[in-house]
C-alpha cells in the first residue's frame, strides 16, 4: 500500500509540473504574437477579431462559352487516280508541293488515244461530205418532181437518205467528242488549290483505271480549312438559340457564331520568339478565329453528342489536317454582371452563400444566386460590385464576427483567365483587379 501511494503521488506531481510548463509556453506565444502585431492561434486578434483574405467583387461583361476537343479537317480533299490504262510519261508534281487549281500533275502516253481522235475526225469529215451529196440529190429530186419527171416515191427516198446521213454525221460528232474525252484522261490536273501528299508513281509506271488501290497522289485544301468537334446534346439548344436571327431577320442574314482555337506553339521555337514577347515576358498564345459553318441534323444516339464544324482562314498554314485542338465557342455575352471566385461561395444544401465585409468591419453572410461558372470564377446575383468578399478564413467566421482584412492569395492563372474573358467581352479587366481588396 505504501508503494502504491508513493507511485500515485509521483504521477500527480508530474502532471502538475507538465501543466505548468504548458501554461507558461502558451503565455509566451501569446505575448510574442501580440508584440508582432498579429493574432495568436486561430487567427484571432484582440476581442476575437479574425484575420481574413478578401477579394473585390467585380462588375464585368462575361462571355458565355462552350469548349470541346476538335480535329482539323480539310474542306476538300481528293485522291488523284487514273481513268485510263496507260504509261506515265511525265510527273509534274513532287511530294508536298503546293498546287494551284487547274495545274497539270501527270501526263500519260497519249499516242493511241490521239490516233483514235484523228480517226474519228476523219470519219466525221467523210460523212459530212456524203451528207452534202445527199443534200444535193434531195434538192434535185424536188426540182424533178415539180417538173413531173419523177414520182413522189423518188423524193421520199432522197429525203430518207438525207436524214440518215444527218444522223450519221451526228454520231460521228459524238464519237469525236468521246475520243476527245478519252484523250483528256491522259493529263491529270488539280481540281482545286491545295497541298499534295506523297507521289506514288514515276515516269514509265503503268497505271490502270481503278477506284481502289493506292492513288497517284492525294491533294487536300489548306486554306480555308475546317475544324470538326462534338458537343453534348445538352448544349444543342443554347447553340441553336445563339444561331437564331434576332429582330425578325431572315435566317440567311444571321451572323454565324464565332469559334476560337488556340494555335499550337512550340516553346523556344522561332515562331514563339523563345516563348518571350517584346518586353521579355511570356508571350500570349495565338488564337485563330473562325465561324461555325455546320451543325449536323442528327444527334448520335450512341454517344449523345452532336457534330459541328467551323471554318477558318488558314493563309499562314498554322492549322494542319489531322491536328487535335481545343475549341471554344462564344454563344452570348452577359452584360454588367458581378464576378467572384468560386472558392468564396459556401454550399449549404441548396443555398449558396458568401461572407462580405460590412463597413463596420464585421462579417455578414449573404445568400447569392449562382448564374454561371467559368474556370475558377462565378457570376452571382445578391452581391454588389465592389463588395469585399471573404475568400480565405471563411470557415472560422460567424455572422457579425469582427474581422481584419488582407488581400487574398489568388491563383495568377485564374486572374489571367478572368482578364482574358473580360477583354473578349469588352469589359477590359486587368489581372490585378481580381486580387485588389
Domain spans, the chain: 46-63+335-433, 67-74+223-333, 86-109+186-220, 111-185
Render pLDDT for 37-94 as a digit per residue (tens, 0 to 9): 444 334 454 447 888 899 999 999 888 888 899 999 999 999 999 999 999 999 999 9
Residue 266 banded pLDDT, cuts 50, 70, 90: low
Which architecture does CATH list for 67-74+223-333?
Answer: Beta Barrel (2.40)
CATH of domain 46-63+335-433: 2.40.420.20
Model pTM greater than 0.75?
A: no
Q: Are 88 and 204 in contact (CB under 8 A)?
A: yes
Mean pLDDT throughout 394-402? Answer: 87
Taking phi over 0 as left and psi of -120 to 50 as alpha, with beta for the rest, 148 belongs to left
CATH of region 111-185: 1.10.287
Residue 90 CB partners (closer than 8 Å, separation 6+)? 106, 107, 203
State pLDDT tens for residues 141-186: 888 888 888 888 888 999 999 999 999 999 999 999 999 999 999 9
**Taking the domain 86-109+186-220, which CATH number applies?**
2.40.50.100
Amino acid at each position: 500500500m505504501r508503494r502504491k501511494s508513493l507511485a500515485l503521488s509521483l504521477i500527480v506531481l508530474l502532471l502538475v509540473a507538465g501543466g505548468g510548463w504548458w501554461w507558461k509556453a502558451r503565455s509566451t506565444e501569446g505575448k510574442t504574437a501580440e508584440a508582432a502585431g498579429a493574432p495568436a492561434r486561430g487567427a484571432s486578434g484582440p476581442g476575437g477579431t479574425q484575420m481574413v483574405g478578401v477579394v473585390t467583387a467585380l462588375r464585368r461583361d462575361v462571355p458565355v462559352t462552350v469548349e470541346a476537343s476538335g480535329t482539323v479537317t480539310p474542306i476538300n480533299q481528293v485522291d488523284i487516280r487514273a481513268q485510263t490504262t496507260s504509261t506515265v510519261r511525265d510527273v509534274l508534281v513532287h511530294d508536298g508541293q503546293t498546287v494551284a487549281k487547274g495545274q497539270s500533275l501527270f501526263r500519260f502516253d497519249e499516242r493511241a488515244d490521239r490516233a483514235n481522235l484523228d480517226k474519228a475526225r476523219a470519219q466525221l469529215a467523210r460523212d459530212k461530205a456524203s451528207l452534202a451529196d445527199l443534200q444535193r440529190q434531195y434538192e434535185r429530186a424536188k426540182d424533178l418532181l415539180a417538173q413531173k419527171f419523177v414520182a413522189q416515191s423518188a423524193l421520199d427516198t432522197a429525203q430518207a437518205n438525207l436524214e440518215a446521213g444527218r444522223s450519221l454525221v451526228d454520231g460521228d460528232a459524238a464519237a469525236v467528242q468521246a475520243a476527245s474525252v478519252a484523250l483528256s484522261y491522259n493529263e491529270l490536273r488539280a481540281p482545286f488549290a491545295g497541298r499534295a501528299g506523297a507521289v506514288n508513281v514515276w515516269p514509265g509506271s503503268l497505271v490502270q483505271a481503278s477506284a481502289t488501290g493506292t492513288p497517284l497522289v492525294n491533294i487536300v485544301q489548306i486554306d480555308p480549312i475546317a475544324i470538326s468537334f462534338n458537343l453534348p446534346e445538352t448544349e444543342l439548344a443554347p447553340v441553336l438559340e445563339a444561331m437564331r436571327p434576332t429582330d425578325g431577320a431572315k435566317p440567311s442574314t444571321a451572323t454565324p457564331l464565332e469559334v476560337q482555337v488556340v494555335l499550337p506553339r512550340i516553346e523556344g521555337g522561332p515562331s514563339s520568339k523563345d516563348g518571350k514577347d517584346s518586353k521579355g515576358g511570356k508571350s500570349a498564345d495565338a488564337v485563330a478565329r473562325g465561324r461555325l459553318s455546320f451543325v449536323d441534323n442528327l444527334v448520335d444516339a450512341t454517344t449523345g453528342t452532336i457534330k459541328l464544324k467551323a471554318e477558318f482562314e488558314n493563309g499562314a498554314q498554322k492549322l494542319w489536317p489531322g491536328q487535335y485542338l481545343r475549341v471554344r465557342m462564344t454563344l452570348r455575352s452577359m452584360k454588367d454582371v458581378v464576378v467572384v471566385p468560386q472558392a468564396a461561395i459556401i454550399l449549404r444544401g441548396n443555398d449558396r452563400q458568401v461572407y462580405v465585409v460590412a463597413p463596420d468591419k464585421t462579417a455578414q453572410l449573404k445568400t447569392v444566386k449562382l448564374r454561371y461558372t467559368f474556370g475558377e470564377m462565378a457570376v452571382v446575383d445578391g452581391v454588389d460590385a465592389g463588395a469585399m468578399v471573404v475568400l480565405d478564413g471563411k470557415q472560422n467566421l460567424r455572422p457579425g464576427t469582427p474581422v481584419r482584412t488582407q488581400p487574398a492569395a489568388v491563383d495568377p492563372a485564374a486572374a489571367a483567365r478572368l482578364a482574358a474573358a473580360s477583354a473578349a467581352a469588352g469589359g477590359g479587366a486587368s489581372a490585378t483587379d481580381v486580387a485588389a481588396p
